[in-house]
Amino acid sequence: HGVWDAGFSGRGEFILVVENSKIELKQNARVAQLIFLKVNETIEYSGIYKNL
């Protein structure tokens, strides 16, 4: 699984490692699901990614 920081902009990428030799993935296969979650925290984001 992965998490992108609030305020991130750009192209999100990840590496998929398949350790089962019986699974064959075709090029451009859709293998991921992106879920957006609403959070209730009111603390302002203080990370280094602020669309600068």
Write the Ramachandran bin of 31: left for phi over 0, alpha for psi from -120 to 50, otherwise beta. Answer: alpha
* pTM of the predicted model as reported, rounded to 2 decimal places: 0.37
Of 32 and 46, which is predicted with more confidence? 32
pLDDT at 19: 92
Give the mean pLDDT of the chain: 79
Q: How many CA atoms lie within 13 A of 52 on its CB side?
A: 4
